[in-house]
Structure formats: structure tokens, C-alpha cells
Amino acid sequence: MAHVLITGGSRGIGAAAVRVFAKAGYEVSFFYEKRADAAAALAAETGARAIRCDAADTEAVAAAVASIPPVDVLVNNAGISHVGLISQITPEEWDRLFAVNVKSIYNTVRAVLPAMLQKQAGAVVNLSSMWGQAGASCEAAYSATKGAVIALTQALARELGPSGIRVNAVSPGMIDTEMNAHLSAEDKAALAEDTPLGRIGTPEEVAAAILYLAEASFVTGQVLAVNGGYL
């Protein structure tokens, strides 16, 4: 049975991914940081292994990965957002965004890589965003982190491909998650109107794309847009 590790797995896209992989027959472990109640409920529902771990903490990630079976598929979903003018974001907020959205990928890949190299096989799926491809006004820092995720994905695909390890990214558009809860109903309606499919997406639709990339044996270095045609 293949083992998948999903970061940021207690809610939203991460929780949907936990359910999709569990239903597909994977052994599932997931990291969470704050929502212990949601993590416990999801673990009970799916049989997944819930691990409290800040993915931005290098030592914590190394210890957590050492405590579970070797990882065959890594899903880097942990992420935070920030809305505001570039002149108003503090250095601490900027650094935290890059720590959670980018450094966490460095942490997890380094931790799971020895086992993947030993097997000469593995898959990594990183979560970017359509704003990492186009950039969003008043979300400069968030857009910068998600653009970095795309560059890191493509670089790792080239670096790890000769070892049989595939690295891809999913780039969601407007998805109905807590991360977008700050948007008004009017804002969401406007984004849906600008989307060719005429609606916003669901976490389950993104999770299906993650599972596809985890299993697509001749696909690497790709960024799969799940955005309803927005871009």
C-alpha cells in the first residue's frame, strides 16, 4: 500500500485530499498545526494518521517524517495568505508567508527524499495558485510565494527526474475554502462571473487533480491549472 503525506491536511483542499487518497486505497498521514478538533475528526472518518507539525519548522518536519513509514507521495498543501498593500505588509508577515508557503516544501522534500531515492521512485505534488502565474493586486507577497512554488517545482522535476521521482504542481483558481472567507458575496460572484465555467471551484475538484498528478507516471514538471478557465 502506497503511503501519502499531506501537509495542511485538516481542512479545505488538504482535507479533501486526505479523503480522496484514503478512498483510493492509500495509507494516509497528514500534518496539521492548529485545528486539532478538525484533524481528529478527519482521522476518525478516514483512518488517516494526524500529526501536529508546523511544516515551516525544519526540525519538527524531520522528526515527524522519521516517526512515520517511508513516504511514496508527498502533497505540499500547507499555505497561508495575506491581503494588503505591499507598503503595509510587515517584514514578519512577509517572512512567515515565505516560511509556510515555500520553506515548508524545502523541509518536507528534504525529509522524505532519502526513502524515495532508495526506492528510485516517488511523487511530489505542490500547491501553487493562479496568482502565482498572473499576480494579484494587493496580494503581492502571496503571489510571490506561489510563483516561487512553480519555479521550485520545475527545478526539482529536472533535478529528481533521473532518480525516478516526479514533481508537479496544481494551480487552483477561486476555490470555496476558508482561505477565501474574507471575500464578500459580491466579490465571489464577480470572480465566478469572470470564470468561463461561471462558478467557483470546490476543494474536491482540486483534490482530484492532486490524485491524478500523484499517479500520472509519465508526467513531471507540469503546472495543472484547476481554475475553471479563469486564466
Q: Choose, from 26, 32, 142, 230, the residue flagged as catalytic.
A: 142
Q: How many residues does the chain have?
A: 231
Sheet holding 122-127, edge to edge: 49-52, 27-32, 3-6, 73-76, 122-127, 165-172, 223-226
Q: Could you give the C-alpha distances from 79 to 46, 56, 67, 101, 111, in angstroms and in order? A: 22, 10, 23, 5, 18
| 212 classed as catalytic | no
Task: Kindly report the number of other CB atoms within 10 A of residue 31's CB atom.
Answer: 27
What distance in Å separates the CA atoms of residue 219 and residue 7, rounded to the nearest whole number? Answer: 22
Q: What b-and-e string marks burial along 83-107, b requiring 16 or more CB atoms within 10 Å of the CB? A: eeeeeebeeeebebbebbbbbbbbb
In this structure, are residues 131 and 146 in contact, taking their beta carbons and an 8 Å threshold?
A: yes
Q: Which of 156, 166, 157, 158 is nearest to 215 (CA)?
A: 166
- What is the DSSP secondary structure assignment for residue 137, as one 8-state letter? T
> Where in the sequence numbering do the catalytic residues fall?
142
